[in-house]
Structure 1
Amino acid sequence: MTFDLEEQEKLDALKDWWKRYGIWLTGALVILAMGAAGAQWWRYHQHEKAAQAAVVYGALQLGLQANQSKAIKDDTATLIDKYPGTPYATRAALISASKSMQTGDTKTAETQLRWVIDHTSEDGIKQLAVLRLAAILLQQKDPAGALKLLDAPYNEAFTARFNDLKGDALVQQNKIAEARASYKIALEKLDAQNTFRKYIEVKLDALGGEPK
């Protein structure tokens, strides 16, 4: 009898606990299940988007090989509009910007490069876009705008190129001593066999000798 009473008390306590907290526990389990299902759906959705973006990017590559400027531009627009979160979109924008520059459409190139800078999460891609945009701004005689871009952090691999363009911008501002210093940093980061050294050395020579 004692055992039965103890069991009954435990059962009554469990029933009482369930009345108080059962609905909350059920709700929590439902939320967890919905969250897991939502996460699984999101992963599937992202995978599908990436696969679709890859197809469009493949078409862009074919357009690039065939030198079809309109196809490249259209495919890039599709990737930016429908798949902006994929790495294909930023790479396509870089390619399209280069093509736009070749055809003299600097306005479109600038817009595409700024989009890359604002949307990519890859440092290398972002810094490459910065370099290309800075070069455009220097062609437009906007050294201040170029320097503002070039003051952003950059990877060691880009040191020579960043400082070379900084030197160009400073020359446009007639800041010769600072330009010379930037060119020298660029030279220091290039090995002796790098053909880009000659290009920078010519610009250094054009600045004349250092003041005594």
Structure 2
Amino acid sequence: MPDIFDEVNEDLRAERARRLLQRYGGLLVVAVVLVVAGAGGWQAWKWYQARETDRIATIFLRGIDAAGGPPGEARKQALVDFAEVVRDGGTGYRTLARLREAALKADTGDLAGAEDLWRQVADDSGAEKLLRDLAVLQSVLHQIDAGDPAALAARLKPLASPDNPWHALAEEVQALLDIRQGNKDAARDTLKRLAQDVTAPDGVRGRANGLLARLGE
């Protein structure tokens, strides 16, 4: 008897499967096609992303080479290249391109254009904090002669924290601000600290000693 029941159950399952296939067979085929297409689409998307990353990297490096050339058409091309990377690149390349484009604009006298780019980097929450802080530092440095001292000092303050990688440079710029405002004692204190700071870059320590000599120390 168990064998008969087993055979009946098998027949019922086969009949049910046949009916399901007749009723939903088309949908099953579509589902299989979509799964296969989805897998193929994902591979195609990965291939496209890799190719696009290579393209952006090539444009960025071409821009760097052009920026290092003499003023003229080469630097104009560099600005075009960096602008394209900013438009089409991912966060990392976009941030680097903005910084390079800003530096190039500053070198050619377009401080307003450079400041706009530094602000974009500083305000970009998706960018690396190290690069955002660098943008702030560059912005303040290029306004050292004409910017509002209090506003510039406020922007420098977070960067001057000992745990910030840019703290030595930020303190150096703060000392320059103090000198500009006639606060020579404050400038001397900062410069002495920098001159003795073994963790500060050699260039910063050398400039600190040079400024101290000019201040009569």
Is TM-score (shorter-chain normalized) higher than 0.5? yes
Question: In the alignment, is residue 114 of structure 1 matched against residue 119 of structure 2?
Answer: yes
Question: In the alignment, is residue 59 of structure 1 matched against residue 28 of structure 2?
Answer: no
**Aligned in 2, Cα 1:35/1:143: closer, same or farther, shift over 3 Å?**
farther
**Aligned in 2, Cα 1:75/1:206: closer, same or farther, shift over 3 Å?**
same
> Retained in 2: the 8 A contact 1:93–1:116?
yes
Q: Distance in 2 between matches of 1:56 and 1:26?
A: 44
Map 1:61-140; keep pairs closer than 5 Å.
Answer: 61-67=64-70, 68-81=74-87, 83-85=88-90, 87-119=92-124, 121-140=127-146
**Aligned in 2, Cα 1:158/1:192: closer, same or farther, shift over 3 Å?**
closer
**Aligned in 2, Cα 1:18/1:78: closer, same or farther, shift over 3 Å?**
same
- Cα distance per residue 1:137-191 (max 9 Å; x no partner): 3333223443444355686432211233344456667888876776566556444
Counterpart selection for 1:165 from 149, 162, 173: 173
How far off is 1:62 after superposition? 3.0
**Aligned in 2, Cα 1:193/1:108: closer, same or farther, shift over 3 Å?**
closer
> Retained in 1: the 8 A contact 2:196–2:205?
no
Counterpart selection for 1:49 from 47, 52, 61: 52
> Retained in 1: the 8 A contact 2:56–2:89?
no
How far off is 1:201 after superposition? 4.9
Alignment gaps of 5+ in structure 2: none
- How many aligned positions are there? 208
Q: Distance in 2 between matches of 1:143 and 1:24?
A: 70
- TM-score, reference length from structure 2: 0.67
RMSD: 4.3
Which amino acid is 2:99 matched to?
L
Alignment gaps of 5+ in structure 1: none
Map 1:136-155; keep pairs closer than 5 Å.
Answer: 136-152=142-158
**Aligned in 2, Cα 1:11/1:74: closer, same or farther, shift over 3 Å?**
same
- TM-score, reference length from structure 1: 0.68
Larger Rg: 2
Q: Distance in 1 between matches of 2:23 and 2:178?
A: 74
Identity between Structure 1 and Structure 2 (%): 25
